[in-house]
Chains A and B, each alone.
Chain A
Amino acid sequence: MTPILIAEQVLNGLQSGVMLFLMAAGLTLIFGVMGLINLAHGSLYMVGAFAAAATAAVTGSFVLALVAALAAAAAAGALVERLVIRRLYDRDHLDQVLATFALILIFSEGTRWIFGSFPLYLDIPEALSGPVTLPGGIQYPLYRLFIIGMGLVVAALLFWLIARTRLGIRIRAGENDREMIAALGVDIARLYTLVFALGAALAGLAGALVGAIQSVQVGMGEPVLILAFVVIVIGGIGSIEGALVGAILVGLTDTLGGIFLPQIFGLFMEPAAATQTGAALASMAIYVLMAAVLAWKPTGLFGAKS
């Protein structure tokens, strides 16, 4: 285990964490402002990836593909909010879970209906392909660095948006006191649609960015969704800072656990048994992390006291 390999794995963990943040930020924002638990968030991720792949196939432009992903996911988000989600704000969580579970079924099968059953093609743009050499002699794919950069830029924008802009003030007001912002004369219905579309766009962007290095296929959103849930539970639901910290923790745990656990078990077990035991435990590592955090702080790291 060389320091270079460790550094590279930390970068990998960071990259997966940053992408998780884009997903988790939308989820936590939607929960914070509207009190809505949205299982269909993973579907918006998928919508982003499919829109990007379809656009890239027609235009050949990665930039246009990203724009299309943002637009399609935001539009799908806004549409769903208007048609369905809006009716769920004053319902209990159970109804929300069920209705958004139904939306997953509709989105997944609908996408398969439109795009067919086979995975789509979306590739890294020429300019970002291949590895670069980092200080210390680390060879690292440029595109993954780009993803980390994009993720951090979006995170910074999001923090700025919430801390400094009018929309941000309204969002924060909405998190604290729903009646008050109504009293202030803010059009709540529009604000909610906007926030939902914003969350959807973040998920769509993540889907498109990740779609270029993974497989664009139906059902790609749900595994990420569950990870994002773990992230916001660890970070504290409703907290953007919590989502960032939680995402990076989960990204690092997942990546490093997968590498190091089998090696640790290899110190005192047969190699084959060690890789299997290690891999089995690594796949559970983030849930153990979550359980540990909650045993310590039941409302997550940055969660409001209940």
Chain B
Amino acid sequence: MSRERILGAVVLLALGLVPLAAHVMGEPFTITLATRAAILALAAVGLNIALGIGGLVSLGHATFFGIGGYAMGILASHVQNYEPMFEWPFLFEGSTSMPFIWLVAVLVSALAALLIGLLALRTSGVYFIMITLAFGQMFYFFSISWSAYGGEDGLSIYVRNGFPGLNTLDPIQFFGLCYAVLCLVLLGAHLLARSPFGLALGAARQSPDRVQAVGLDPKRLRLVGFVISGAITGLAGALFADLNRFVSPTMFSWQTSGEIMVFIILGGVGRLFGPVVGAAVFVMLEHFLGDMSEFWHIWLGLLLLAVVLFARGGLVGLIAGREKAHD
């Protein structure tokens, strides 16, 4: 096993064990923090497929995060307020079932990613960065003025949605659920990176000419990669909304997009466990630096600068070495 793998396994194991220890010690807040880290990591795993494999620098992944969040908020709020979503062609009252909400979140974010991708992937480089950013802003402003679902105030869901067989209001059970989803998606991302599709998408980043010359369409590969990426981030959005029992336009803001990207850079671009390390470190920094200084953003900024300038390959790269695993 490569050092990177070992490091990844250790981090993932720690992320699973810390909440268990906290549960035993009666520290539910630590579990909440770990849940937050797991969900943010999931969002970043999604972005890492577009960014790390496909080289698509999307500064608009908050769009999908927000769509996932609102999928949860809208479905659950109709149940909460006893106002059916629609009565024709059949009565639909909304839903408080997590699996159904996840399905909707994934499908709607995938659809959004498809539409955005169709336009944005006509361009590349800086144009792509800015267009994805602008689409995010478009959704942000729309969500602020969409008064039917709370506008800027957002939507509060008083009771966390349900999952068959689990009491999701119990922090450790909800953590277990998010952790399981994260592990499954990580496994999926691992397989995807090595699958024919992952190979082709990676080649489309490194040498689009070559990909064309062997008869594959780099644009279509990127579009599919972008859609998968958006769908995963959308799923993370639905979980994040359930963690907070609340959604608001902040989920769509461009700072959110920036932060998701920060997790990846902190951890290491294109590395399987990079997003997990990045999100865990970010959540810890937010927690401890936030306690130490009112101006903790300065320190966060400096740390980020240092990583970008001096630790290329992120923290995983720093510990496990620059070269990525090849097999």
Contacts and interface: CB of A to CB of B under 8 A. Distances in A.
Interface residues of B, number: 42
A294 B122 contact: yes
B116 to A, nearest CB: 9
B134 A290 contact: yes
CB-CB nearest 10 A-B residue pairs: A105-B301, A280-B145, A102-B304, A106-B301, A287-B138, A283-B141, A109-B297, A102-B301, A298-B122, A99-B308
B129 A97 contact: yes
A164 B293 CA distance: 51
26 contacts: A31-B126, A94-B51, A94-B57, A94-B269, A99-B304, A99-B309, A101-B261, A106-B298, A106-B305, A109-B295, A110-B298, A112-B295, A222-B254, A232-B130, A233-B127, A233-B131, A280-B146, A283-B141, A284-B141, A287-B134, A287-B137, A287-B138, A294-B127, A294-B131, A295-B119, A298-B123
A216 to B, nearest CB: 19
A84 B124 contact: no
A190 interface: no
A284 B138 contact: yes
Contact of B262 (A101, A232, A237): A101
A299 B142 CA distance: 26
Interface string B276-306: 0000000000000000000111101110110
Given A110-B298, A230-B134, A294-B119, A93 B129 contact: yes
A181 B107 CA distance: 51
Contacts of B300: 102, 105
Contacts of A233: 127, 130-131, 134
Contacts of B51: 94
A298 B127 contact: yes
Nearest to A291: B119
- Most A C-beta atoms less than 10 A away, residue of B137, B265, B308: B308
B147 interface: yes
A300 B130 CA distance: 12
A95 B302 CA distance: 14
B133 interface: yes
A180 B125 CA distance: 23
Contacts of B144: 283
B59 interface: yes
Given A95-B308, A112-B295, A233-B134, A279 B127 contact: no
B150 interface: no
Interface string A91-118: 0111101110111111011101100000
A201 B261 CA distance: 29
B309 to A, nearest CB: 5
Contact of B124 (A284, A291, A306): A306
Contact of A102 (B57, B133, B308): B308
A278 to B, nearest CB: 10
Interface residues of A, number: 44
Interface of B: 51, 57, 59, 119, 122-127, 129-131, 133-135, 137-138, 141-142, 144-147, 254, 258, 261-262, 265, 269, 295-298, 300-302, 304-305, 308-309, 312
Interface string A263-306: 00000000000001001100110011011001100111000001
Contacts of A108: 297
Contacts of A78: none
A63 interface: no
B142 A280 contact: yes
- Most A C-beta atoms less than 10 A away, residue of B126, B142, B146, B261: B126
B270 to A, nearest CB: 10
Given A233-B131, A294-B122, A113 B145 contact: no
Contacts of B135: 287, 291
B56 to A, nearest CB: 10
A44 interface: no
- Most B C-beta atoms less than 10 A away, residue of A93, A102, A108, A276: A102
A284 B297 CA distance: 30
Contacts of B127: 233, 237, 294, 298-300
B126 A102 contact: no
B298 A113 contact: yes
Nearest to B51: A94
A113 B302 contact: no
A128 to B, nearest CB: 33
Contacts of A99: 304-305, 308-309
B142 A106 contact: no
Given A93-B129, A95-B308, A229-B134, A299 B301 contact: no
Given A94-B51, A287-B137, A294-B122, A276 B130 contact: no
A37 interface: yes
Given A109-B298, A299-B123, A98 B131 contact: no
A279 B262 CA distance: 33
Nearest to A84: B305
Given A93-B126, A94-B269, A101-B258, 15 more contacts: A93-B57, A94-B261, A99-B309, A105-B301, A105-B304, A108-B297, A110-B295, A226-B137, A229-B130, A284-B138, A290-B131, A291-B135, A295-B119, A295-B122, A300-B127
Contact of B145 (A105, A112, A232, A276): A276
Contacts of B261: 94, 97-98, 101
A98 B301 contact: no
A132 to B, nearest CB: 34
A288 B119 CA distance: 12
Contacts of A104: 301
A289 to B, nearest CB: 10
- Most B C-beta atoms less than 10 A away, residue of A37, A105, A230, A294: A105
